[in-house]
Amino acid sequence: MGAQYKTAVVCGGGGFIGGHFVADLLSRGIKVRVVDVKPMNEWYQVHPEAENVVADLNLKDACFAAVKGQEVVYNLACNMGGMGFIENNKGLCMISVLINTHLLMAARELGGVKKFFYASSACVYNGDKQKDKSVELFLKEEDAYPALPEDGYGWEKLFSERMCRHFREDYKIPGRVARFHNVYGPLGTFEGGREKAPAAMCRKVIEAKLSGKHEIEIWGDGKQTRSFMYITDCLKGIHMITDSDTFWEPINLGSAEGVTINTLVDIVEDIAGIKLKRNYNLDAPKGVAGRNSDNTLINKVFGWEPNTKLRDGMEKTYKWIYDQMAGRPQYRKASPALAGAH
Protein backbone atom coordinates (compact mmCIF):
# COMPACT_ATOMS: atom_id res chain seq x y z
CA MET A 1 0.00 0.00 0.00
CA GLY A 2 1.30 3.42 -0.88
CA ALA A 3 1.85 6.24 1.58
CA GLN A 4 -1.15 8.08 0.11
CA TYR A 5 -3.38 6.04 2.43
CA LYS A 6 -3.38 6.55 6.18
CA THR A 7 -6.44 4.62 7.32
CA ALA A 8 -7.96 1.27 6.39
CA VAL A 9 -10.63 -1.09 7.69
CA VAL A 10 -10.19 -4.85 7.34
CA CYS A 11 -13.58 -6.54 7.48
CA GLY A 12 -13.20 -10.16 8.50
CA GLY A 13 -9.86 -9.23 10.03
CA GLY A 14 -10.21 -11.87 12.73
CA GLY A 15 -9.91 -14.60 10.10
CA PHE A 16 -6.84 -16.38 8.76
CA ILE A 17 -6.08 -14.12 5.80
CA GLY A 18 -7.32 -11.06 7.67
CA GLY A 19 -4.99 -11.60 10.62
CA HIS A 20 -1.95 -11.80 8.36
CA PHE A 21 -3.10 -8.82 6.30
CA VAL A 22 -3.67 -6.60 9.34
CA ALA A 23 -0.11 -7.34 10.49
CA ASP A 24 1.14 -6.37 7.04
CA LEU A 25 -0.79 -3.09 7.00
CA LEU A 26 0.42 -2.16 10.47
CA SER A 27 4.02 -2.80 9.40
CA ARG A 28 3.48 -0.21 6.66
CA GLY A 29 2.42 2.46 9.15
CA ILE A 30 -1.28 2.34 8.30
CA LYS A 31 -3.85 3.05 11.01
CA VAL A 32 -6.05 -0.06 10.91
CA ARG A 33 -9.57 -0.78 12.12
CA VAL A 34 -10.27 -4.52 12.36
CA VAL A 35 -13.85 -5.82 12.42
CA ASP A 36 -15.00 -9.42 12.86
CA VAL A 37 -18.12 -11.13 14.18
CA LYS A 38 -16.22 -13.70 16.26
CA PRO A 39 -15.44 -13.02 19.92
CA MET A 40 -11.91 -11.65 20.07
CA ASN A 41 -10.57 -14.73 21.83
CA GLU A 42 -11.50 -16.68 18.68
CA TRP A 43 -9.63 -14.38 16.29
CA TYR A 44 -6.67 -16.00 14.55
CA GLN A 45 -4.48 -13.03 15.42
CA VAL A 46 -5.18 -10.02 17.62
CA HIS A 47 -3.00 -6.95 17.10
CA PRO A 48 -3.24 -4.59 20.12
CA GLU A 49 -1.98 -1.63 18.09
CA ALA A 50 -5.04 -1.82 15.80
CA GLU A 51 -8.58 -0.66 16.61
CA ASN A 52 -10.28 -4.02 17.18
CA VAL A 53 -14.07 -4.21 16.91
CA VAL A 54 -16.42 -7.17 17.40
CA ALA A 55 -19.51 -6.58 15.24
CA ASP A 56 -21.89 -8.42 12.92
CA LEU A 57 -21.28 -7.02 9.45
CA ASN A 58 -24.48 -8.58 8.15
CA LEU A 59 -26.10 -5.56 9.83
CA LYS A 60 -26.24 -2.23 8.03
CA ASP A 61 -25.38 -0.11 11.07
CA ALA A 62 -22.28 -2.20 11.80
CA CYS A 63 -21.06 -1.73 8.23
CA PHE A 64 -21.57 2.03 8.35
CA ALA A 65 -19.68 2.23 11.65
CA ALA A 66 -16.87 0.13 10.18
CA VAL A 67 -16.44 2.27 7.06
CA LYS A 68 -16.82 5.69 8.69
CA GLY A 69 -13.57 7.67 8.50
CA GLN A 70 -11.70 5.02 6.49
CA GLU A 71 -9.91 5.63 3.20
CA VAL A 72 -9.62 1.99 2.13
CA VAL A 73 -12.10 -0.84 2.72
CA TYR A 74 -10.89 -4.43 2.52
CA ASN A 75 -13.83 -6.85 2.55
CA LEU A 76 -12.56 -10.31 3.51
CA ALA A 77 -15.65 -11.10 5.59
CA CYS A 78 -17.96 -14.00 4.75
CA ASN A 79 -19.26 -17.32 6.00
CA MET A 80 -16.94 -19.90 4.51
CA GLY A 81 -14.69 -22.89 5.09
CA GLY A 82 -13.50 -26.02 3.36
CA MET A 83 -15.61 -28.03 0.91
CA GLY A 84 -17.38 -29.90 3.72
CA PHE A 85 -18.60 -26.60 5.17
CA ILE A 86 -19.52 -25.04 1.82
CA GLU A 87 -21.56 -28.03 0.64
CA ASN A 88 -23.51 -28.29 3.91
CA ASN A 89 -24.13 -24.57 4.65
CA LYS A 90 -25.38 -23.07 1.39
CA GLY A 91 -27.93 -20.78 3.03
CA LEU A 92 -25.44 -19.49 5.56
CA CYS A 93 -22.95 -18.77 2.78
CA MET A 94 -25.59 -16.84 0.82
CA ILE A 95 -26.33 -14.58 3.78
CA SER A 96 -22.87 -13.04 3.33
CA VAL A 97 -24.34 -11.04 0.44
CA LEU A 98 -25.58 -8.64 3.12
CA ILE A 99 -22.01 -7.84 4.19
CA ASN A 100 -20.75 -6.65 0.83
CA THR A 101 -24.03 -4.90 0.04
CA HIS A 102 -24.02 -2.88 3.25
CA LEU A 103 -20.30 -2.07 2.98
CA LEU A 104 -20.78 -0.74 -0.55
CA MET A 105 -23.78 1.31 0.58
CA ALA A 106 -21.68 2.75 3.40
CA ALA A 107 -18.87 3.63 1.00
CA ARG A 108 -21.34 5.38 -1.28
CA GLU A 109 -23.24 7.30 1.40
CA LEU A 110 -20.39 8.24 3.74
CA GLY A 111 -17.89 9.26 1.07
CA GLY A 112 -14.13 9.43 1.53
CA VAL A 113 -13.39 5.84 0.41
CA LYS A 114 -10.51 5.87 -2.06
CA LYS A 115 -10.39 2.11 -2.71
CA PHE A 116 -12.72 -0.82 -2.03
CA PHE A 117 -11.29 -4.35 -2.21
CA TYR A 118 -13.55 -7.41 -2.41
CA ALA A 119 -12.21 -10.92 -1.80
CA SER A 120 -14.01 -13.19 -4.24
CA SER A 121 -13.29 -16.85 -4.90
CA ALA A 122 -12.49 -19.40 -7.59
CA CYS A 123 -15.84 -20.90 -6.58
CA VAL A 124 -17.45 -18.39 -8.98
CA TYR A 125 -16.28 -20.39 -12.00
CA ASN A 126 -18.67 -22.35 -14.20
CA GLY A 127 -18.90 -25.90 -12.86
CA ASP A 128 -19.19 -27.39 -16.36
CA LYS A 129 -15.68 -26.14 -17.06
CA GLN A 130 -14.26 -27.96 -14.03
CA LYS A 131 -15.11 -31.59 -14.79
CA ASP A 132 -11.64 -32.53 -16.06
CA LYS A 133 -9.13 -33.73 -13.44
CA SER A 134 -6.11 -32.74 -15.54
CA VAL A 135 -3.56 -30.55 -13.76
CA GLU A 136 -3.42 -28.67 -17.07
CA LEU A 137 -6.98 -27.40 -16.66
CA PHE A 138 -6.57 -23.70 -15.90
CA LEU A 139 -9.48 -21.32 -15.37
CA LYS A 140 -9.37 -17.95 -17.11
CA GLU A 141 -11.31 -14.98 -15.77
CA GLU A 142 -13.89 -15.20 -18.58
CA ASP A 143 -14.74 -18.78 -17.51
CA ALA A 144 -17.06 -17.37 -14.84
CA TYR A 145 -19.67 -16.92 -17.59
CA PRO A 146 -22.13 -18.25 -18.56
CA ALA A 147 -22.76 -18.39 -14.83
CA LEU A 148 -22.84 -21.76 -13.10
CA PRO A 149 -20.85 -21.21 -9.88
CA GLU A 150 -20.58 -23.36 -6.76
CA ASP A 151 -24.09 -23.53 -5.32
CA GLY A 152 -24.55 -21.17 -2.37
CA TYR A 153 -21.06 -19.81 -1.70
CA GLY A 154 -20.11 -19.34 -5.35
CA TRP A 155 -23.37 -17.63 -6.26
CA GLU A 156 -22.95 -15.16 -3.39
CA LYS A 157 -19.41 -14.35 -4.53
CA LEU A 158 -20.42 -13.86 -8.15
CA PHE A 159 -23.38 -11.66 -7.22
CA SER A 160 -21.16 -9.54 -4.97
CA GLU A 161 -18.64 -9.15 -7.79
CA ARG A 162 -21.44 -7.67 -9.90
CA MET A 163 -22.40 -5.37 -7.02
CA CYS A 164 -18.83 -4.03 -6.96
CA ARG A 165 -18.92 -3.49 -10.71
CA HIS A 166 -22.19 -1.60 -10.72
CA PHE A 167 -21.32 0.52 -7.68
CA ARG A 168 -18.12 1.47 -9.52
CA GLU A 169 -20.02 2.30 -12.71
CA ASP A 170 -23.01 4.04 -11.10
CA TYR A 171 -21.56 5.61 -7.94
CA LYS A 172 -17.82 5.80 -8.69
CA ILE A 173 -16.89 3.51 -5.78
CA PRO A 174 -13.39 2.37 -6.86
CA GLY A 175 -13.91 -1.37 -6.40
CA ARG A 176 -11.25 -4.01 -7.00
CA VAL A 177 -11.97 -7.76 -7.05
CA ALA A 178 -9.59 -10.71 -6.63
CA ARG A 179 -10.66 -14.33 -7.04
CA PHE A 180 -8.73 -16.23 -4.37
CA HIS A 181 -7.60 -19.79 -5.10
CA ASN A 182 -7.13 -21.86 -1.92
CA VAL A 183 -5.00 -19.79 0.44
CA TYR A 184 -2.94 -21.65 3.07
CA GLY A 185 -0.16 -21.08 5.59
CA PRO A 186 0.63 -20.93 9.32
CA LEU A 187 -1.86 -19.54 11.86
CA GLY A 188 -4.80 -21.01 9.95
CA THR A 189 -7.65 -23.43 10.70
CA PHE A 190 -6.55 -27.06 10.64
CA GLU A 191 -9.49 -28.79 12.36
CA GLY A 192 -13.15 -28.32 13.18
CA GLY A 193 -14.73 -28.56 9.73
CA ARG A 194 -13.78 -25.25 8.11
CA GLU A 195 -10.17 -26.12 7.26
CA LYS A 196 -8.94 -26.27 3.65
CA ALA A 197 -7.17 -29.24 2.08
CA PRO A 198 -3.51 -28.26 2.80
CA ALA A 199 -4.13 -27.82 6.53
CA ALA A 200 -6.41 -30.87 6.69
CA MET A 201 -3.73 -33.04 5.09
CA CYS A 202 -1.10 -31.76 7.50
CA ARG A 203 -3.36 -32.54 10.46
CA LYS A 204 -4.22 -36.02 9.21
CA VAL A 205 -0.58 -36.94 8.53
CA ILE A 206 0.51 -35.57 11.92
CA GLU A 207 -2.26 -37.50 13.67
CA ALA A 208 -1.15 -40.69 11.94
CA LYS A 209 2.49 -40.05 12.82
CA LEU A 210 1.95 -39.16 16.47
CA SER A 211 -0.66 -41.85 17.13
CA GLY A 212 1.23 -44.62 15.36
CA LYS A 213 -1.86 -45.50 13.29
CA HIS A 214 -0.36 -45.14 9.83
CA GLU A 215 -3.54 -44.59 7.82
CA ILE A 216 -5.16 -41.54 6.25
CA GLU A 217 -8.67 -40.84 4.93
CA ILE A 218 -8.84 -38.90 1.69
CA TRP A 219 -12.08 -37.33 0.48
CA GLY A 220 -12.86 -38.51 -3.06
CA ASP A 221 -10.51 -40.59 -5.20
CA GLY A 222 -7.52 -38.30 -4.69
CA LYS A 223 -7.37 -37.45 -8.40
CA GLN A 224 -9.09 -34.07 -8.05
CA THR A 225 -6.74 -31.21 -8.97
CA ARG A 226 -6.26 -27.87 -7.23
CA SER A 227 -3.74 -25.06 -6.91
CA PHE A 228 -2.81 -23.66 -3.51
CA MET A 229 -1.49 -20.14 -2.79
CA TYR A 230 0.80 -19.40 0.14
CA ILE A 231 -0.35 -16.57 2.40
CA THR A 232 2.51 -14.15 1.66
CA ASP A 233 1.70 -14.30 -2.07
CA CYS A 234 -1.93 -13.56 -1.24
CA LEU A 235 -0.98 -10.44 0.73
CA LYS A 236 1.25 -9.13 -2.05
CA GLY A 237 -1.51 -9.71 -4.60
CA ILE A 238 -4.11 -7.88 -2.53
CA HIS A 239 -1.89 -4.79 -2.41
CA MET A 240 -1.11 -4.84 -6.13
CA ILE A 241 -4.73 -5.26 -7.16
CA THR A 242 -6.14 -2.73 -4.68
CA ASP A 243 -3.55 -0.07 -5.46
CA SER A 244 -3.94 -0.30 -9.24
CA ASP A 245 -5.43 2.77 -10.89
CA THR A 246 -5.64 1.17 -14.32
CA PHE A 247 -7.24 -2.25 -13.76
CA TRP A 248 -10.51 -2.99 -11.98
CA GLU A 249 -12.00 -6.18 -13.44
CA PRO A 250 -12.13 -9.42 -11.40
CA ILE A 251 -8.77 -11.17 -11.60
CA ASN A 252 -7.35 -14.52 -10.51
CA LEU A 253 -5.13 -14.49 -7.44
CA GLY A 254 -3.73 -17.97 -7.06
CA SER A 255 -0.83 -20.27 -7.80
CA ALA A 256 -0.61 -21.91 -11.23
CA GLU A 257 1.14 -24.94 -9.68
CA GLY A 258 -1.68 -27.43 -10.05
CA VAL A 259 -1.48 -30.76 -8.21
CA THR A 260 -3.75 -33.70 -7.53
CA ILE A 261 -4.88 -34.29 -3.96
CA ASN A 262 -2.80 -37.47 -4.04
CA THR A 263 0.27 -35.39 -4.90
CA LEU A 264 -0.54 -33.04 -2.02
CA VAL A 265 -0.56 -36.07 0.30
CA ASP A 266 2.76 -37.21 -1.22
CA ILE A 267 4.29 -33.84 -0.34
CA VAL A 268 3.08 -33.89 3.26
CA GLU A 269 4.17 -37.50 3.73
CA ASP A 270 7.62 -36.60 2.44
CA ILE A 271 7.87 -33.63 4.82
CA ALA A 272 6.80 -35.87 7.70
CA GLY A 273 9.11 -38.71 6.68
CA ILE A 274 6.31 -41.28 6.67
CA LYS A 275 4.20 -43.35 4.27
CA LEU A 276 0.56 -44.03 5.05
CA LYS A 277 -2.14 -46.42 3.92
CA ARG A 278 -4.70 -44.35 1.99
CA ASN A 279 -8.41 -44.92 2.51
CA TYR A 280 -10.57 -43.14 -0.05
CA ASN A 281 -13.98 -41.91 1.10
CA LEU A 282 -15.93 -41.61 -2.14
CA ASP A 283 -19.05 -40.36 -0.32
CA ALA A 284 -17.36 -37.35 1.29
CA PRO A 285 -17.65 -33.79 -0.14
CA LYS A 286 -14.98 -33.44 -2.82
CA GLY A 287 -15.92 -30.38 -4.88
CA VAL A 288 -15.22 -30.00 -8.59
CA ALA A 289 -12.88 -32.34 -10.48
CA GLY A 290 -10.32 -29.71 -11.45
CA ARG A 291 -9.67 -26.07 -10.53
CA ASN A 292 -6.34 -24.34 -11.18
CA SER A 293 -5.53 -20.67 -11.64
CA ASP A 294 -4.73 -19.35 -15.11
CA ASN A 295 -2.32 -16.50 -14.42
CA THR A 296 -2.03 -15.08 -17.94
CA LEU A 297 -3.94 -11.92 -17.01
CA ILE A 298 -2.20 -11.12 -13.71
CA ASN A 299 1.17 -11.59 -15.44
CA LYS A 300 0.10 -9.28 -18.25
CA VAL A 301 -1.28 -6.56 -15.97
CA PHE A 302 1.19 -6.67 -13.07
CA GLY A 303 4.17 -8.61 -14.39
CA TRP A 304 3.88 -10.96 -11.41
CA GLU A 305 2.05 -14.04 -10.17
CA PRO A 306 2.02 -16.00 -6.88
CA ASN A 307 5.28 -17.94 -7.01
CA THR A 308 5.90 -19.68 -3.67
CA LYS A 309 6.50 -23.36 -4.43
CA LEU A 310 3.91 -25.65 -2.82
CA ARG A 311 6.59 -27.77 -1.16
CA ASP A 312 8.17 -24.68 0.45
CA GLY A 313 4.88 -23.32 1.75
CA MET A 314 3.73 -26.70 3.00
CA GLU A 315 6.93 -27.20 5.01
CA LYS A 316 6.20 -23.99 6.95
CA THR A 317 2.53 -24.86 7.34
CA TYR A 318 3.27 -28.42 8.49
CA LYS A 319 5.78 -27.24 11.09
CA TRP A 320 3.32 -24.75 12.58
CA ILE A 321 0.47 -27.29 12.77
CA TYR A 322 2.82 -29.93 14.19
CA ASP A 323 3.86 -27.55 16.95
CA GLN A 324 0.18 -26.96 17.84
CA MET A 325 -0.62 -30.67 18.00
CA ALA A 326 2.50 -32.31 19.43
CA GLY A 327 1.95 -30.97 22.95
CA ARG A 328 -1.56 -32.40 23.28
CA PRO A 329 -1.99 -34.97 26.08
CA GLN A 330 -2.83 -37.86 23.77
CA TYR A 331 0.51 -37.47 21.98
CA ARG A 332 2.86 -36.73 24.88
CA LYS A 333 3.66 -40.41 25.36
CA ALA A 334 5.00 -40.61 21.81
CA SER A 335 8.63 -41.64 21.70
CA PRO A 336 11.22 -38.85 21.31
CA ALA A 337 12.27 -40.25 17.97
CA LEU A 338 8.69 -40.18 16.72
CA ALA A 339 7.79 -36.75 18.09
CA GLY A 340 11.00 -34.99 17.10
CA ALA A 341 11.37 -35.84 13.44
CA HIS A 342 9.68 -32.90 11.83
| Residue 29 φ/ψ region, left for φ over 0, alpha for ψ in the -120 to 50 degree band, beta for the rest | left
Q: Rounded to whole angstroms, how far apart are CA atoms 124 and 19? A: 24
Region of 152 (left: φ > 0; alpha: ψ -120 to 50; beta: rest) is left
**Bond from prior residue into 146 cis (ω within 30 degrees of 0):** yes
Annotated active-site residue in 153, 184, 318, 322 = 153
Of the candidates 130, 78, 151, 116, which has an alpha carbon nearest to the alpha carbon of residue 293? 130
Query: With contact defined as beta carbons under 8 Å apart, do 199 and 230 qualify?
Result: no
Report which residue type is found at 170. D
Longest dimension (CA), the chain: 65
Per DSSP, helices labelled H in the chain are 16-27, 60-67, 83-88, 90-95, 97-110, 153-171, 197-211, 231-243, 261-272, 296-302, 310-325, 336-340
Distance CA 289, CA 155 (A): 19
Q: For residues 301 and 308, give the distance between their C-alpha atoms in angstroms, rounded to a whole number.
A: 19
For 176, the enclosing helix (H) or strand (E) is strand 175-180
Residue 153 falls in the annotated catalytic set = yes
One-letter identity of residue 150 = E
Q: Which residues are catalytic?
A: 153
